[in-house]
């Protein structure tokens, strides 16, 4: 049987204090990885610390502060990774925000915040991650987009645009970084059962599910399973791909 063993891997997950990011971190640790999760707030870091204490797998979880919209904060994160571990084998760029608004009602603050986190933040982290990975001529970068980055959705033009940009970033970086042994892939989740989506109005949630072939929302574990596969050597010839975890949206 095939198995995933990440005991020699140092893995970074941004936005790792809850939901999809936290589940990816836990699953990486279960596979043996040394995992660093980031959070922007003290409360977020406390959530990561609680998760770290619950890890009984061969791997480990550590929390570090990072605001992906702040260039100095991102630089400090990667300096800490280099000083502590001397390498980075994988990064899952998961940090993101969702602010729905009709295009005519979207505020300047909503536009700038969404692009700063979901697009510029991803680029910033990829810059530093690729430099660390290039030292060892290997690595895997996984970017988190969204099903609406591929299909669009009324009332989400700002969010969809930011996530569509992530797809373009991933495909471009796969070509740019491939010669250095670095793979880059994109995950596009659909409606995943998280704290954020549980607060959707029932009619809006059902309207989305009406177009999902499997007729249900996904789980954070189902997204994490794909992320761990893409990080692992089992995906050694997989790069430049956009893979949906969307139930057939």
Which residues have a catalytic role annotated?
159
Measured in degrees and rounded to the nearest 5, phi and psi for residue 225 equal -60, -40
Q: What would you report as the CA-atom Rg of the chain, rounded to the nearest whole angstrom?
A: 17
Rounded distance between C-alpha atoms, residue 56 and residue 29, angstroms:
9
Task: Choose among 216, 206, 218, 211: nearest CA to 244.
Answer: 218
Percent of residues in the chain assigned helix, strand, coil, to nearest 5: 50, 15, 35
E strand spans, the chain:
10-13, 34-39, 60-65, 90-93, 139-144, 182-189, 242-245
Helix and strand element counts for the chain (H, E):
10, 7
Q: How far is CA 206 from CA 172, 192, 198, 210, in A?
A: 35, 13, 12, 6
Task: Choose among 241, 190, 180, 199: nearest CA to 220.
Answer: 190
Measured in degrees and rounded to the nearest 5, phi and psi for residue 210 equal -60, -20
Instruction: Centre a 10 Å sphere on the Cβ of residue 194 and count the other Cβ atoms it contains.
Output: 20
């Amino acid at each position: 049987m095939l198995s995933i063993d990440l005991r020699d891997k140092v893995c970074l997950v941004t936005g790792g204090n809850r939901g999809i990011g936290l589940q990816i971190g836990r699953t990486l640790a279960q596979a043996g990885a040394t995992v660093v999760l980031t959070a922007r707030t003290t409360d977020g870091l406390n959530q990561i610390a609680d998760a770290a204490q619950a890890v009984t797998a061969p791997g480990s979880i550590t929390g570090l502060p990072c605001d992906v919209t702040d260039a100095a904060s991102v630089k400090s994160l990667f300096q800490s990774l280099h000083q502590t571990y001397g390498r980075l084998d994988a990064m899952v760029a998961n940090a993101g925000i969702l602010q729905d608004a009709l295009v005519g009602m979207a505020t300047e603050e909503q536009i700038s915040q969404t692009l700063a986190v979901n697009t510029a933040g991803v680029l910033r982290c990829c810059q530093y991650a690729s430099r660390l990975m290039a030292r060892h001529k290997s690595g895997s970068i996984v970017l988190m987009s969204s099903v609406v980055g591929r299909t669009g959705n009324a009332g989400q033009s700002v969010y969809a645009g930011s996530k569509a940009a992530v797809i373009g970033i991933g495909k471009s970086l796969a070509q740019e970084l491939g010669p250095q042994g670095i793979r880059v892939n994109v995950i596009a989740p659909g409606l995943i059962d998280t704290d954020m989506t549980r607060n959707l109005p029932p009619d809006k949630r059902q309207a989305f599910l009406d177009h999902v072939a499997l007729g249900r929302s996904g789980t954070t574990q189902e997204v994490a399973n794909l992320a761990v596969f893409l990080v692992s050597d089992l995906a050694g010839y997989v790069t430049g791909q956009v893979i949906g975890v969307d139930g057939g949206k």
